[in-house]
């Protein structure tokens, strides 16, 4: 559903009745039937009522929305979702401003989100903007434009809030036996890292965190992302190395272990690498979320992607055209993280910031169990 009104189901049914007889058989008919079932399911869920909650994450590269409702088991179930690559932060590192083209792309995506929020009659929501709007001198001006045109109230959150919400969303995937875990989120304009410790009573505590002001968009713009020779790839890694090492040294100075029990990655980089590792023709969240990667897989796939041409990366089902010039920069950041914290295993999370927002909102309303972070 794209935030369509309730009459959408009737229109689809009418189109099916009016279609030529040949369309009622074969692949075309099956596609229509699947669409009808989806529409009926959505309308049935909405008819049964909420409350429905919304979480929107407007980042440097993506605009993503989740709509969910709490369950009787103290968790939540997602009823609708939307994701689109908008590259809002394109060129911000050079100009310091959001471009008109990037803002127009983002407004188009946010219009879909606004329609969905209205369709589900979402009363409790949190709509956040991150690094691109934090960094751009016209970031607040753009959000005023969003409010005027679409009626959406977005807020710019700081890097620490962003990091803690991401951990809250990904926390269920931390190995229960792990005492120390490094959580990271490689974004478009920044990379957040958090050292999470298991307390004596089992709760997860953030001991320290850092925000690296580089992500897949900014690093690709700085070094190039279409064709990446080994020397350029090495320069990408070197560019982020000192900041990451400083965080590792700070952790050691506080008496924390040199390496955590495992890493937990919530970024598109690790989910993309996992999709390639699994040999998926198309990205499948159910197979990626919660899976594990090891050091060798990350090294091998990173090198394979680096050596590919842009066209070859575009042809990869788990990458596609929109990410083909960005994924190698993400690999460089990930490889450097793994070099500084050389653990064998990485848990992969196709969840994070939006899930953290939903958890926090529902926790405040008494619908979900107390969060662990």
More confident residue, 264 or 12: 264
Given 94, 127, 157, the domain boundary residue is 157
pLDDT in tens, 17-29: 455 554 455 667 7
More confident residue, 171 or 24: 171
Beta bridge partners of 348: 265
Q: Is the pLDDT of residue 2 over 50?
A: no
| Phi and psi at residue 50, to the nearest 5° | -100, -140
Report the residue count for the chain: 373
pLDDT recorded at residue 13:
46
105 and 201 share one domain: no
pLDDT in tens, 119-148: 999 999 999 999 999 999 999 999 999 999
Percent of the chain scored above 90 by pLDDT?
Answer: 77
Is 1 domain-assigned? no
| Phi and psi at residue 256, to the nearest 5° | -85, 155
Whether residue 156 contacts residue 133, with contact meaning beta carbons closer than 8 Å, is answered with yes
Whether residue 355 contacts residue 363, with contact meaning beta carbons closer than 8 Å, is answered with no
Q: Domain holding 124: CATH number? A: 3.30.420.40
Q: What is the mean pLDDT of residues 306-330?
A: 94
109 and 242 share one domain: no
34 and 66 share one domain: no
Whether residue 346 contacts residue 294, with contact meaning beta carbons closer than 8 Å, is answered with yes
H/E run at residue 346: strand 345-348
**Which DSSP string do the residues of 92-132 spell out, in sequence order?**
HHHHSS--HHHHHHHHHHHHHHHHHHHHTT--EEEEEE-HH
Most distant CA pair in the chain, distance: 74
262 and 335 share one domain: yes
135 and 109 share one domain: yes
> Of 156, 344, 173, 355, nearest to 265 (Cα)?
173
Residue partners of 87: CB distance under 8 A and separation at least 6: 60, 61, 102, 105, 188, 217
Q: Residue 237 region, left (φ>0) first, then alpha (ψ -120 to 50), else beta?
A: alpha
Beta bridge partners of 84: 63
Q: What is the mean pLDDT of residues 42-46?
A: 77
CA distances from 125 to 52, 115, 155 (A): 9, 14, 12
Is 152 domain-assigned? yes
Is 133 domain-assigned? yes
More confident residue, 35 or 68: 68
Is 371 domain-assigned? no
Is 28 domain-assigned? yes
pLDDT recorded at residue 265:
96
pLDDT in tens, 89-109: 999 989 999 999 999 999 999
pLDDT recorded at residue 83:
94
184 and 314 share one domain: yes
Residue partners of 75: CB distance under 8 A and separation at least 6: 368, 369
Q: Is the pLDDT of residue 6 over 80?
A: no
Whether residue 191 contacts residue 212, with contact meaning beta carbons closer than 8 Å, is answered with yes
Whether residue 358 contacts residue 127, with contact meaning beta carbons closer than 8 Å, is answered with no
pLDDT in tens, 268-314: 899 999 999 999 999 999 999 999 999 999 999 999 999 999 999 99
211 and 338 share one domain: yes
Least reliable range by pLDDT among 4-8, 230-234, 240-244 = 4-8
More confident residue, 44 or 277: 277
Structure tokens at 71: 């369950």
What pLDDT band is residue 253 in, cutting at 50, 70 and 90?
Answer: very high
Tell me the average pLDDT of the chain.
89
Q: Roughly what angle, to the nearest 10 degrees, separates helices 268-277 and 295-307? A: 90
Q: What is the dihedral of CA 296, 170, 59, 117, to 10 degrees?
A: 140
pLDDT recorded at residue 24:
54
| Domain carrying residue 340 | 174-353
Percent of the chain scored above 70 by pLDDT?
Answer: 91
pLDDT in tens, 172-218: 899 999 999 999 999 999 999 999 998 777 788 899 999 999 999 99
Residue partners of 84: CB distance under 8 A and separation at least 6: 62, 63, 64, 109, 112
280 and 307 share one domain: yes
Is 370 domain-assigned? no
231 and 88 share one domain: no
Q: Is the pLDDT of residue 39 over 80?
A: no
Is 195 domain-assigned? yes
Q: Please state, as a whole number, how many other Cβ atoms lie within 10 Å of the Cβ of residue 226.
A: 12
pLDDT recorded at residue 19:
52
111 and 151 share one domain: yes
> Of 243, 230, 3, nearest to 111 (Cα)?
3
Q: Count, in order, helices (H) and strands (E) of the chain.
A: 16, 11
User: Percentage helix, strand, coil, to 5, in the chain?
Assistant: 50, 20, 30
Residue partners of 175: CB distance under 8 A and separation at least 6: 181, 261, 262, 347
What pLDDT band is residue 50 in, cutting at 50, 70 and 90?
Answer: confident
What pLDDT band is residue 16 in, cutting at 50, 70 and 90?
Answer: very low
Q: What is the mean pLDDT of residues 213-234?
A: 96
264 and 333 share one domain: yes
Top mean-pLDDT range of 150-154, 172-176, 366-370: 150-154
What pLDDT band is residue 331 in, cutting at 50, 70 and 90?
Answer: very high
Is 253 domain-assigned? yes
Residue partners of 56: CB distance under 8 A and separation at least 6: 63, 64, 65, 113, 125, 126, 127, 128, 152, 154, 354
Q: How many domains does the chain have?
A: 3
More confident residue, 352 or 368: 352
59 and 41 share one domain: no
């Amino acid at each position: 559903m794209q935030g369509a009104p309730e009459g959408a189901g009737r229109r689809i049914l009418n189109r099916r009745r009016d279609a030529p007889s040949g369309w009622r058989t074969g692949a075309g008919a099956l596609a229509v039937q699947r669409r009808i079932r989806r529409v009926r399911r959505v309308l049935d869920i909405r008819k049964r009522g909420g409350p429905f909650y919304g979480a929107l994450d407007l980042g440097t590269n993506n605009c993503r929305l989740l709509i969910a409702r709490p369950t009787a088991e103290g968790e939540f179930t997602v009823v609708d979702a939307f994701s689109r690559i908008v590259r809002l932060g394109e060129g911000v590192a050079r100009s310091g401003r959001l471009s008109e083209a990037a803002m127009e792309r983002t407004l188009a995506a946010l219009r879909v989100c606004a329609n969905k929020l209205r369709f589900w009659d979402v009363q409790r929501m949190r709509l956040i903007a991150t690094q691109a709007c934090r960094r751009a001198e016209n970031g607040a001006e753009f959000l005023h434009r969003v409010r005027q045109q679409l009626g959406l109230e977005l807020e710019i959150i700081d890097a620490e809030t962003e990091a803690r919400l991401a951990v809250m969303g990904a926390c269920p995937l931390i190995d229960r036996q792990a005492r120390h875990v490094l959580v990271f989120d490689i974004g478009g304009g920044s990379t957040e890292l958090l050292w999470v410790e298991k307390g004596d009573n089992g709760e997860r505590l953030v001991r320290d965190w850092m925000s690296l002001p580089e992500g897949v968009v900014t690093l690709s713009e700085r070094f190039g992302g279409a064709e990446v020779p080994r020397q350029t790839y090495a320069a990408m890694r070197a560019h982020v190395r000192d900041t990451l090492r400083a965080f590792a040294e700070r952790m050691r100075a506080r008496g924390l272990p040199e390496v955590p029990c495992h890493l937990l990655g919530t970024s598109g980089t690790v989910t993309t690498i996992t999709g390639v590792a699994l040999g998926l023709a198309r990205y499948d969240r159910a197979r990626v979320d919660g899976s594990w990667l090891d050091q060798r897989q990350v090294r091998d796939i990173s090198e394979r992607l680096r050596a590919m041409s842009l066209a070859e990366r575009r042809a990869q089902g788990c990458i596609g055209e929109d990410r083909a010039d960005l994924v190698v920069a993400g690999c460089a950041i990930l490889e450097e993280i793994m070099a500084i914290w050389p653990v064998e295993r990485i848990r992969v999370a196709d969840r994070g910031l939006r899930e953290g927002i939903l958890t926090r909102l529902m926790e405040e309303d008494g619908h979900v169990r107390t969060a662990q972070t």
